[in-house]
Amino acid sequence: MAAKRILIIGGSGHVSGALARQAVAAGHEVTIVTRGQRAIPPGVTALIADRQDRAALPRVLPGGVVWDLVVDCIGYEPKDAQQDVALFADGARQLVFISTDFVFDPARRRFPQPFDNPHFLTDDSYGARKRRCELEFIQGDTRDLQWTIFRPCHIYGAPSQLGCLPAAARDPQLLNKLRAGEPVRLVGGGHFLQQPILVTDLAGLVLSVIGNPLSHKKIYGAAGPDIVASREYYEIIAKTLGVPVRFEELPVAAAVQEHPEWRSFLCHRLYDLAPLRLDGLKVPNTPLAEGLAAHTEWRLRQE
């Protein structure tokens, strides 16, 4: 494929950094926009702006450029998505917005969850606000812009913290606790099913929209190839460490009452990858056991 001009909003973080590195490795011309607070991946053109400062982003963008692909990795509020539509309806050929599978009402999911299940969160949660961002594309004047939305589930891989379920989600002490023989405390004993996606698989999936007309105005679940009980995720980490693992079950009802912000975790999060395959996108295929062992080993090397 000929090199494309790609703009990433974000670009030095977990998802956005993986995307920037993979796009550079594929030979694309990559520009990123960050506040300049983290190390910049090699090979990109780095622009500095706070995207919350609505005048700053257009000010740093080079004039007269029509991007082949813009990827908004850090849109959390409708105003972020409105900014994308305003700047890129005429300023880009394609745009990907990274949403989340937390858009859904956890009490009204189906298994596997279809992308068009109409039961969304409508409160002020992170997931509900992401859904309002999606609506900016669905209802906005996007003209000829070919937009695509991905809803990742749990994203793992370096340099993120390990842990996919409360009360052991993104726990910086997880490896120490496992080595000390402490039980992993999981809501519902870790029996909720999940389909974690490796961050580099997500990056490959995002880049596979380039030049693909079937992904126009489409929303896809973005999940890994393996469906596992959440506790299995921790068993893989413990196996990599060479230690046994014990679990302590936290009752679901009490957890929801004490931590309403955990609600979106406390359900089965299953997706059919067929829509990705049928539209010719790059289907995530790294086995969880392989990707998570590598992620654990990476964390061990940071100690």
Ligand X SMILES: NC(=O)c1ccc[n+]([C@@H]2O[C@H](COP(=O)([O-])OP(=O)(O)OC[C@H]3O[C@@H](n4cnc5c(N)ncnc54)[C@H](OP(=O)(O)O)[C@@H]3O)[C@@H](O)[C@H]2O)c1
Q: Where do contacts with ligand X occur on this chain (CB under 6 A)?
A: 10-16, 33-38, 50-52, 73-74, 98, 100, 152, 154-155
Shortest CB 2 distance to ligand X, Å: 26
Token look-up 């896809």 returns: 220
Q: Do 240 and 101 contact (CB within 8 A), yes or no? A: no
Shortest CB 180 distance to ligand X, Å: 26
By beta carbon distance, the residue nearest ligand X is 13
Residue nearer to ligand X on the CB measure, 83 or 94: 83
Shortest CB 13 distance to ligand X, Å: 2
Whether residue 112 is preceded by a cis peptide bond, meaning omega within 30 degrees of 0, is yes
User: Residue 71's closest CA among 153, 150, 7, 151?
Assistant: 7
Distances (CA, A) of 55 to 41, 50, 83, 255: 25, 9, 10, 42
Residue nearer to ligand X on the CB measure, 61 or 98: 98
Residue nearer to ligand X on the CB measure, 169 or 256: 169
Neighbours of 139 (CB within 10 A): 9
Q: HSE-up of 48 (CA within 13 Å, CB side)?
A: 6
User: Residue 169's closest CA among 241, 93, 228, 230?
Assistant: 230
Shortest CB 48 distance to ligand X, Å: 8
Residue nearer to ligand X on the CB measure, 143 or 283: 283
247-250 and 184-187 beta bridge pairing: parallel
Shortest CB 253 distance to ligand X, Å: 25
Residue nearer to ligand X on the CB measure, 159 or 211: 159
